[in-house]
Amino acid sequence: MALRKYKPMTAGTRWRVGNAYAEITSDTPEKSLLEPMKRTGGRNFQGRRAMRYIGGGHKKQYRLVDFKRNKKDIEATVVSIEYDPNRTAFIALLSYADGEKRYIIAPQGLQVGTKVISGDAVAPEIGNALMMKNMPLGTNVHNIELQPGQGGKMAKSAGTSAQLNAKEEKYAVLKMPSGELRKVLINCYATVGVVSNSDHNLQSMGKAGRNVWKGIRPRVRGVAMNPVDHPMGGGEGRASGGQPRSRTGQKSRGLKTRTRGKGSDKLIIQRSNGKKISK
């Protein structure tokens, strides 16, 4: 992926680092795979504001992305690589041999004209979806299922992937983007490759107005509020606000938010902080 550094012609472009969209091959989406999206502006069914800092933004439509990859053993050709306003990754339009078209998350390096296929034991090549039991160790995968046939749930955002580290009976051991080691059922599907748009996190909006175009309104700091509005508000002069915490009082540092005794605990071998789980 290529980034574009803008010249400081205005205050808004001085700090702007944008996407050059070098991989994008089409700016016209497939009409049959679009659905309308209704914007709430942060309002509930009564019309009252229920969520702050939501509002405005450009109109957009939802792209129906195939996370299940359940059209098996039918070869598809990549028609185009497209921008999706609803996610950080790019998407690829596939045209199957029987004429059907579907969107998938585009892996890095996927080119227009490439043939991809989904199946229980297809070749572990970029863009192909198959069971993890049929992949060689060390393979980078994304769009990983947690239950067979459920559809991809993990490693779907820009630049992410998990690495297949080991195979243990009915489980595959994956090293997640966070560094966590966890087990996933070995007959779950995953797509080979790293998700596209890996430099997404290096972009800089440059001005608040660009975030408003995305539907994100300016956010007020807690320390700038009154005590009635936020636990960190009030005080004489410029007070630090004490220990950082949310509007409801939940501390933002050191507090463990994962549910104790969660069912998936037994599938986690090592946490992202390097601590091994004692069984």
Q: Residue 2's pLDDT is what? A: 86
Asked if the structure places residue 242 within a domain, the reply is no
Count of structural domains, the chain: 1
For residue 223, is it within any domain? no
Per-residue pLDDT of the chain (279 residues; tens, 9 = 90+): 689 999 999 999 999 999 999 999 999 999 999 999 999 999 999 999 999 999 999 999 999 999 999 999 999 999 999 999 999 999 999 999 999 999 999 999 999 999 999 999 899 999 999 999 999 999 999 999 999 999 999 999 999 999 999 999 899 999 999 999 999 999 999 999 999 999 999 999 999 999 999 999 999 999 999 999 999 999 999 999 999 999 999 999 989 888 999 999 999 999 888 887 765
This prediction has a pTM of: 0.92
CATH of residue 47's domain is 2.40.50.140
Q: By residue range, what is the domain housing residue 91?
A: 22-200
C-alpha to C-alpha distances, 144 to 132, 189, 193, 254, 266, nearest whole angstrom: 9, 6, 11, 30, 18
- Angstrom distance (rounded) from CA 200 to CA 231: 34
Residue 48 lies in a domain: yes
Q: What span, in angstroms and rounded, lies between the C-alpha atoms of 106 and 68?
A: 14
pLDDT in tens, 120-170: 989 999 999 999 999 999 999 999 999 999 999 999 999 999 999 999 989
Q: Kindly state whether residue 150 falls inside one of the protein's structural domains.
A: yes
Residues facing residue 131 across a β-bridge: 189
